[in-house]
Each structure stands twice: as C-alpha cells, then as structure tokens.
Chains A and B, each alone.
Chain A
C-alpha cells in the first residue's frame, strides 16, 4: 500500500468519524445508507461522458443532501418514505447505467493507483469536513437540544442544517474510492455508534469515533492487502466487529 493511499484513507476515516457522531445523535443513521446510494447514477453518467466518476458522484450526492434538507421540515414519515423510494430508485437506475467491473468498483470500492486529482480532492474535502465540525461543533450541539432553542441563540438553523448535510455528502464522496456506494454509509455510522455507547461525554465520543474509524480503516486495509481480498468490505467488517465487542464492554448507565 502506497503512503499517499494510507494517508488519504486516514484523512477519510477522521472525517467520517466526526461527521458520523452528529449523524448518530441526530438519528440520521438510517438515512446515511440510502443517501450514499444516490452517488451511483452520478458515477454512471460520468463514466458515460468520459469524465472522472467522482465529479458525477459529488454532484448527485449534493443533490441528494439538498433533497433531504428540503424534506426535513415536513413530517418525518413522509421524509423517510421519500428517501427510501428516491434513493433506492437511484441505486437501481445507477446499476443499469454502470457496467461490469466499473459497477463492482462503484458499489464496493476498488484498489488501483490514485491519480493526482483524486489526492487533491481528497485532501481538500477532508480538510473542509474536519474544519467544519471543529468550528461548528458548539452550534451543532445547541441545535441537537432543539432547533427552536438554537434559533433563539441566533443560529441560522436552516443554513447550518444544509451545510451539515453537504459535509455529510462530501464525506461519502471521500470514501467512495475505498468503500463504494454500498458501504461508505456504514463507515460513517458504525464507529460513531460504537463511540456513542462507550463514551461518557462529547469529547470522548468524538475522539473515540475518530480512533475507531481510523482503526477499522487501517486494520481492514492491511488485512485486505495481506489476504488479497477487497478492501471496502473488510474495513466495514472490522468496524462491525468492534461494535459487537463494544456491546460487551458498554458501561451501565
């Protein structure tokens, strides 16, 4: 494994650990998966047009985040139905548009050498996501208590929500290379869910989620290259195994 792949995958893991904490606390765990599926038709269109797949994926993910944002103010049930229908539909259409090897790679992530545009995009995206969470962390926490309370604290709730969802979409885009459309949602949610069960305060949860996410990524990637297996599924397997182990050690509250 080359140094830049390792470095970039750690940057991705840090970003997804941080974004995941707020996703789990906002009860977005179920929306994470379908939202990542929306990248697939974007990848399909990009491949057909001979442009870099990440361009199509990012465009579709931003659109998906915008859709979730627009629906959030409405009744919860309606939102979940629409997310289920639209995003699963996107997965189906995307599968029809993408063929063979490309489809497998888009779904589960793939190996292969990194190109410079990807490295630059990855570093910029990871920096943007991490700085967003660090600078907006307090506002996000106040918004967790209640959007109404956040409004009285002078927070532009709609704007912050949109930004958060776009950062969430960007995190998915960041991980598509390694985990693919089907599995990236899991790397965002599982380490954060594990951290939620183990931590006793906010700092603890954020640090644990980062640690667990990096652990799953590095260990999963190493085992994959050692056993000559696919990287993405192994990363998620390690993350899921850590979650199961954590259930045994969960502090009673």
Chain B
C-alpha cells in the first residue's frame, strides 16, 4: 500500500477524521487508479460524506491524501445548504462556474446537453426544476470545471427511476468514454455491482476495499451493515 503507483490518481494512507471525541474514520488506506470507478458503500453514519470532504480538504484530518499532479476535482455534494427559491437560473450557475474556471460562457450548453437538461429548463430559476433536473444540473456544474476526477455523493438520491438510470449511464459514459476517474457513494448495491471496478466499504467495524465480486458477498455485507442485507447478485 505504501509503494507509490504511477497510475494512481489518489493515494490515501492512514486517514483518520475525528469530530470532538467521535472518531468517524480511522486509519483508512486505499489507492484509486486513473480512469477507474470506485463505489463507496456503508451504513448511515459510516463516514462516506466525511471521506469526500476530507478528500477535497474541507475538514481537518490525520494521515495523508495525495492527488496526482494536475488533478481537477468535480464534486457533486449530496445536500446543499442552498435556498431553492432564489432567482438564479441553471444557466447563471453554469456561467459563474465557467467564469471561475476561466472557460468560455458559450460551451456551458454542451454540458447541459451532456447531462440531458433541456436549455429552456436551464433558463428557469432553479426553484422550478424537479429534483432530478436539479441533480443533473449539479453534475453539469461539476463538469464545467473540466475535471479529471468526479466525486458523486449519492447522485441519484431523490431522482425517479428513469432519471436514476440516465444519471448512472452518464456516470459510466464519463468514465469509459472521457477517461474520468469516478468515485461515487451509493446505497444501491446493484448499481455498485454494475458500474464499480472497486468497492470501498466503510463501517464502524472495519473498512474493506476490493472488486465488487469479493466485497459484495452476503457475509461481508452482513458484517458491514450489521444486519441481514437482502441482496442477490445477478450474474451478467
């Protein structure tokens, strides 16, 4: 684990995060290779979002987080501390993000197209968007900065079934066709099995890392979630 891997975009070693007396993450080490997709699973309170926030340097931690040189992160948070009744349109948001990244305003429509938000919807205040449309807008927002790595915190939460399918396919396409490294948090084990090359599972008992086939076993899942998980692997 200590040996440096030239192909890895992220190396995390002995990462610990503590809030007051409560240890949320403890001695976590893993590597993410460039262009791969990693799913992060675990019960509520296991520290999945905390891990993301540590990875982007938003919270103090012990241990080390090393991103490869030139990494640009696109982050799609799970919860926003944003009032939805403000008169800012999807286009306003994308243009602001694009300007901060030093990009041109014109190419923001390309990202809307990519995530499947119709231009007339993007011209409306964000409060009028549905949950799924807003979620896709957030993905577009992350893509505007031309990221090499995407961090997605439950990107399909609150999105209807067809919308979920679209977002998952988009995530997969970005990874396979555009060579992005994708780290995503998910509770949908079937999605994890289908799209992740490796799984990092966090739990209060132990953390484990490996390909879905070895991680998503009934025994291990029972240990991670501390209860019987009804999950059937559909062989492809």
Contact A148 B75, CB 8 Å, known A200-B87, A201-B92: yes
Interface string of A121-142 (1 = CB under 8 A from B): 0000000000000000111011
Give the residue of A151, A154, A200 whose beta carbon is less than 8 angstroms from that of B89: A200
- Asked if B86 contacts A196 (CB within 8 A), the reply is yes
Contact A142 B88, CB 8 Å, known A148-B58, A151-B56, A152-B73: no
- Asked if B56 contacts A152 (CB within 8 A), the reply is yes
A31 CB–B CB distance under 8 Å: no
B74 CB–A CB distance under 8 Å: yes
Residues of B within 8 A of A137 (CB): 96
Cα A152 to Cα B55 with chains together (Å) = 10
- Asked if B88 contacts A141 (CB within 8 A), the reply is yes
For residue A113, give the distance in angstroms from its CB to the closest CB of chain B.
Answer: 40
For residue B59, give the distance in angstroms from its CB to the closest CB of chain A.
Answer: 9
**A interface secondary structure, majority:** helix
**B interface secondary structure, majority:** mixed
B81 CB–A CB distance under 8 Å: yes
Give the residue of A144, A153, A202, A253 whose beta carbon is less than 8 angstroms from that of B145: A153
- Asked if A146 contacts B96 (CB within 8 A), the reply is no
B128 CB–A CB distance under 8 Å: yes
A249 CB–B CB distance under 8 Å: no
Q: Bin chain B's interface residue count.
A: 35 or more
Q: Which of B73, B87, B151 has the most chain A CB within a 10 Å cutoff?
A: B87
| B142: nearest chain-A partner, CB-CB | A149
B125 CB–A CB distance under 8 Å: yes
Q: Which of B27-35, B97-105, B160-168, B211-219 contacts A (4 or more CB under 8 A)?
A: B97-105
Cα A203 to Cα B125 with chains together (Å) = 12
B93 CB–A CB distance under 8 Å: yes
- Asked if A201 contacts B125 (CB within 8 A), the reply is yes
A27 CB–B CB distance under 8 Å: yes
Residues of B within 8 A of A138 (CB): 95-97, 99-100
Contact A153 B86, CB 8 Å, known A141-B92, A201-B125, A202-B92: no
For residue B61, give the distance in angstroms from its CB to the closest CB of chain A.
Answer: 14
Residues of A within 8 A of B184 (CB): none
For residue B140, give the distance in angstroms from its CB to the closest CB of chain A.
Answer: 12
- Asked if A253 contacts B125 (CB within 8 A), the reply is yes
How many residue pairs link A and B with beta carbons under 8 A? The number is 89
- Asked if A152 contacts B125 (CB within 8 A), the reply is no
| A137: nearest chain-B partner, CB-CB | B96
Cα A155 to Cα B85 with chains together (Å) = 25
Please provide the chain B residues from 55 to 98 with a CB less than 8 Å away from any CB of chain A in the complex. Answer: 56-58, 73-75, 77, 80-83, 85-89, 91-93, 95-97
Residues of B within 8 A of A195 (CB): 87
| B124: nearest chain-A partner, CB-CB | A200
Contact A196 B87, CB 8 Å, known A151-B58, A201-B125: yes
Residues of B within 8 A of A89 (CB): none
Q: Which of A153, A200, A201 has the most chain B CB within a 10 Å cutoff?
A: A153
Cα A145 to Cα B74 with chains together (Å) = 13
Contact A153 B92, CB 8 Å, known A148-B58, A196-B86, A253-B125: no
Residues of A within 8 A of B204 (CB): none
- Asked if B100 contacts A139 (CB within 8 A), the reply is yes
- Asked if A149 contacts B89 (CB within 8 A), the reply is no
B131 CB–A CB distance under 8 Å: no
Contact A149 B77, CB 8 Å, known A201-B125, A253-B127: yes
- Asked if A202 contacts B88 (CB within 8 A), the reply is yes
| B89: nearest chain-A partner, CB-CB | A201
B172 CB–A CB distance under 8 Å: no
Please provide the chain A residues from 21 to 42 with a CB less than 8 Å away from any CB of chain B in the complex. Answer: 25, 27
- Asked if A154 contacts B100 (CB within 8 A), the reply is yes
Contact A151 B81, CB 8 Å, known A142-B96, A200-B87, A205-B87: no
Cα A228 to Cα B21 with chains together (Å) = 63
Residues of B within 8 A of A205 (CB): 86-88
Query: What are the 4 tightest A-B residue pairs by CB atom distance, in nearest-first order?
Result: A141-B96, A199-B87, A138-B96, A138-B99
Apart from A142-B97, A201-B123, 19 more pairs, CB < 8 Å: A25-B86, A25-B88, A137-B96, A138-B99, A141-B93, A145-B80, A145-B93, A145-B138, A145-B141, A146-B80, A147-B58, A148-B75, A152-B56, A196-B85, A196-B86, A200-B125, A202-B87, A205-B87, A253-B128
Residues in A lying within 8 Å of B, measured CB to CB = 25, 27, 137-139, 141-142, 144-149, 151-155, 195-196, 198-205, 253
